[in-house]
Amino acid sequence: MIPRTRLLGLGNDILADDALGILAAREIERLALPGLQVVTSSESGLSLLDYVQDVDRLIVIDSIQTARAEPGTIHLVREEDVAAPPGGSPHFIGLFETLALGRALGLRVPGEVIIIAVEAADCLTLGGPMHPAVAASIPRVAELVGDLIG
């Protein structure tokens, strides 16, 4: 049986490179990959709880700014590979805190969480264009998702 997989594209589609997760998810949705449910959200915090329930596997696409890689660099990590930042998430309550809360409440949250994060150059410019290297990563992200769901 194919595990139920949800793809969650996160970001803000009016903030330059922060739109990456949403735009990539929309592109992947057009591919109609079997066994994959695609959703997008600009929300954070406890609002994410609705998106992480009742699924076996969660693939999250979002932008990231590490200042250690070139824009457009794709980072693939699993939940267990990520240490919580000191002081918690910069979103106050982020994805990992939401997953932990769901588990503590006995909700059906995914046992497998994969994050595809694309290095961004600018996540603050309102209405700004995506950096060309970030936009160019979308087909590679879509291909990676296809590989992950087999």
pTM of the model: 0.90
CA 125 to chain centroid, in Å, comes to: 20
Q: Are 119 and 71 in contact (CB under 8 A)?
A: yes
Q: What's the average model confidence in pLDDT over 39-62?
A: 92
Q: What is the domain partition of the chain in residue ranges?
A: 5-149
Q: What is the pLDDT of residue 95?
A: 87
Q: What's the average model confidence in pLDDT over 61-74?
A: 94
pLDDT at 2 over 60: no
Q: Which residue has the higher pLDDT, 25 or 46?
A: 25
Q: What is the pLDDT of residue 81?
A: 85
Q: CA distances (Å), 145 to each of 24, 33, 43, in order?
A: 10, 9, 22
CATH number of 5-149: 3.40.50.1450
Mean pLDDT of the residues in the chain: 90
Task: Express each pLDDT in 80-128 by its tens digit.
Answer: 887 765 555 555 578 888 999 999 999 999 999 999 999 999 988 898 8
Q: What is the pLDDT of residue 3?
A: 60
pLDDT at 37 over 90: yes
Q: What is the pLDDT of residue 146?
A: 94
Q: Whole-angstrom Cα distance, residue 23 to residue 102?
A: 27
pLDDT at 1 over 60: no
Beta strand 74-78 with 112-119 is antiparallel
Beta strand 112-119 with 57-64 is parallel
Q: Are 88 and 34 in contact (CB under 8 A)?
A: no
Q: What is the pLDDT of residue 68?
A: 93
The position carrying tokens 């992200």 is: 141
Q: What is the pLDDT of residue 7?
A: 97
Which secondary-structure segment (H or E) carries 29?
Answer: helix 20-31
